[in-house]
Structure 1
C-alpha cells in the first residue's frame, strides 16, 4: 500500500476497538486496538500490510534472480498466499492476492525451468561418470604402462569428486563399477610385479654367476682365450634380461670392473710388446732396403743367394706390429717374385746340354728305363706295371721341361 493514509478504503475500527479489513468478499476482523485513536489503529495494521508487500517484493526479486533458490521462493509465495486470508493486516488484500497468484504461476514456471536444467545437468554429470567408468574398465585390461595407468586411476578419482549432480543411487552404482575396475587393475598389477620380482631373482642369480666368472678371469694372462671367454660372458649378460634400474646399474659396474681389470692388464702388456715389435719393424725395414737394392737383373743368382740370407735374418728378428705386418710381407714377396722371374729367364738362357735340371731329369728317365728292364727280367707283372708307370711319369715331366725351353 503506497499511501498509508488511505486506510479507510480498506479497513475500519468499530466502537469497541475491533479492527476490520475490507475485501471483495466482505469484512473480517484482524485485531483489536485500544491504545489510541481509530486512525492510529488502522495505521498500525496498514504498516503490517506494507511489511507484507515488501516481503512479496523481495520474493519476486529472488524469483527473477539467476542464483535464486527457486523452490524455496515458490514455497514462500505459497505460504504467504495461504496465510493471506488470516493475515492481521489492513490494505488491498484483493490486489495482493492477485499478485501472489501471478507470482505462484511464475514460481511454478521457474521451478519447471530449474528442474529441467537440473535434469540436464544430472544427465551430463551422469554421462561424464559413465565415461570415466568405461575408461577405467578399459584401463583395467592393459598389460603394460602400469605406472601411467595407476596415475590415471588416481586422476579419475579426483575428476569423479569434481562432478556433482548425479542422484545418489546412480552415483553409488557407477562408483561400484569404477571401484571394481580399479580393483581388477590393482590385482593384475600386483600379479605382474610379483612375477617380475620372481624373474628378476633368477636374473640376479644368473648375473651374480657371470660376475663371479668375470672376476675369476680378470687375473688371467691367457690373453686370447680369456678375451674370447669374456666376450661370451658379455653375450650371456645381454641375453639374461634386466634387473630393476638401480640393481642393474650396480651389477653392471661390478661386471664391467672385472672385465676392465683384464683388458687394462692386457693393454699394458700389448703396449710393451708393441714397443718391442716396433723395433723389429725397424730392423725388417732395413732388411727390405737391402733386399730391394739387390741387382736382380744383373746377377740373379747372386741376388738369390743374398736374398736367402736376408730371409734367414728376417725370420730371426721376430714379429712386428699387426698394422705393419701385411705391408712388410708384400714388399718382401715383391723382391722374391722379381728374383724368381729373373732366375727363370736366366735358366731359359742356358743351353739344353748344360742345363743341370734337364741333365738330372734325363738321368732319372734312364734309371727308370733300367728299372723297367729288371722288372721284365723277373716276369713279375705287378713290378713291370709299377716300373712302366714310374717311367711314363718321368718321361712326361722331362717332356714338359724341354717344351718350356
Structure 2
C-alpha cells in the first residue's frame, strides 16, 4: 500500500516536473531570442536588461524542476545573462569612447570658428564658417552639458563673424555710394562744360554764314550777341567745374587728416 502511494506521488511529480520544464523551455527560448538582434542603443540595452530580469523572476515562479534537462535549461539561461553582461559593457565602453571622440570633434570645430571670427576676407571665410556649421551637425552626439558650453562658444563666434561681415558690407556700400555720388557730380560738371563748349563752337560756326553780310546788320549783331553769350556761359561752366574739383579735394584732405584725440587737453 505504501509502495503504491509512493509510486502515485512520484508519477504526479513527474507530470508536474514535465509541465514546469515545458514552461521553462519557453522562457529560456524567449531569453535566447534576445541575442538575435543585438541592441544598438542605450534604450535597447535597458529593455534587454529589464526583460532578462523579468524572465528570471518568471522562471523562479514556475518552481523547482529536476533532471538533466532542468540543469541544461539553467545553463542556457545563464549563458544569455553572461552574453548580455559582456556585450552591454562593451557597448557602454564604445559609447563612452565615441562620446569623447564627438566632443573632441566639436571642440576642434569651435576653435576653428573662433579663429574665423577674426578674419576679414569675408567671402572665403563665410564659406568656411558655413562648412563648420554642417560639420557641427554631423559631429554626433556628445554629453549635453559639455555640448551646450561648446555650442555657446560656437554661436558667439558665428555671431561675431557675421556681424563683422554685415558691418563691413554696410561700410563698403556707403563708400560706394559716396564714390558714385562724387562720380555723378564730376560727370555732371564735366557735361555742363562740354555742352557750353559745343554751344560756343556751334555759334562760332554759324558766323561763317554771315561772312558776306554787313557787320552792322541786325542778323549779324544777333549772331555776335549769341556767340558772346555762349562764351560767357562756357566761362561760368569752367569756373564751376574748377570750384567743384577744389571742393572735392578739400573733402578728401579733411577725411585723410588725423582726428584730434578728445582726451588730450588743449595747450
Q: Which category of TM-score, normalised to the shorter sequence, fits these structures? A: 0.5 to 0.7
**What is the aligned length?**
191
Task: Give 1:48's match in structure 2, choosing from 6, 23, 38.
Answer: 23
Highest CA radius of gyration, 1 or 2?
Answer: 1
Q: Distance in 1 between matches of 2:11 and 2:134?
A: 66
Secondary structure, aligned partner of 1:13: helix
Maintained 8 Å contact 1:122/1:166: yes
Residue of structure 1 equivalent to 2:214? none
Q: Post-superposition shift, 1:161?
A: 1.9
Task: Give 2:165's match in structure 1, choosing from 189, 203, 210.
Answer: 189
Q: Which consecutive unaligned segments of at least 5 residues does structure 1 have?
A: 1-10, 22-41, 241-405
Does the alignment pair 1:124 with 2:101?
Answer: yes
Q: Post-superposition shift, 1:184?
A: 0.8
Residue of structure 2 equivalent to 1:84? 59
The TM-score with structure 1 as length reference comes to: 0.41
Secondary structure, aligned partner of 2:177: helix
Task: Give 1:97's match in structure 2, choosing from 74, 95, 117.
Answer: 74
Secondary structure, aligned partner of 2:23: helix
Task: Give 2:130's match in structure 1, choosing from 154, 158, 161.
Answer: 154
More helix by share: 2
Cα distance, 1:89–1:54 mapped onto 2, change above 3 Å: farther
Q: Distance in 1 between matches of 2:40 and 2:88?
A: 13
Q: Post-superposition shift, 1:88?
A: 6.1
Q: Distance in 2 between matches of 1:157 and 1:167?
A: 19
Q: Distance in 2 between matches of 1:90 and 1:60?
A: 25
Residue of structure 2 equivalent to 1:368? none
Q: Which consecutive unaligned segments of at least 5 residues does structure 2 have?
A: 1-9, 202-237, 253-267
User: CA offsets per residue over residues 284-320 of structure 1, 9 Å max, x none?
Assistant: xxxxxxxxxxxxxxxxxxxxxxxxxxxxxxxxxxxxx
RMSD: 3.4
Q: Distance in 2 between matches of 1:136 and 1:59?
A: 45
Cα distance, 1:89–1:212 mapped onto 2, change above 3 Å: farther
Secondary structure, aligned partner of 1:218: helix
Does the alignment pair 1:211 with 2:216?
Answer: no
Q: Which has the higher contact order (CA 8 A, sep 6+)?
A: 2
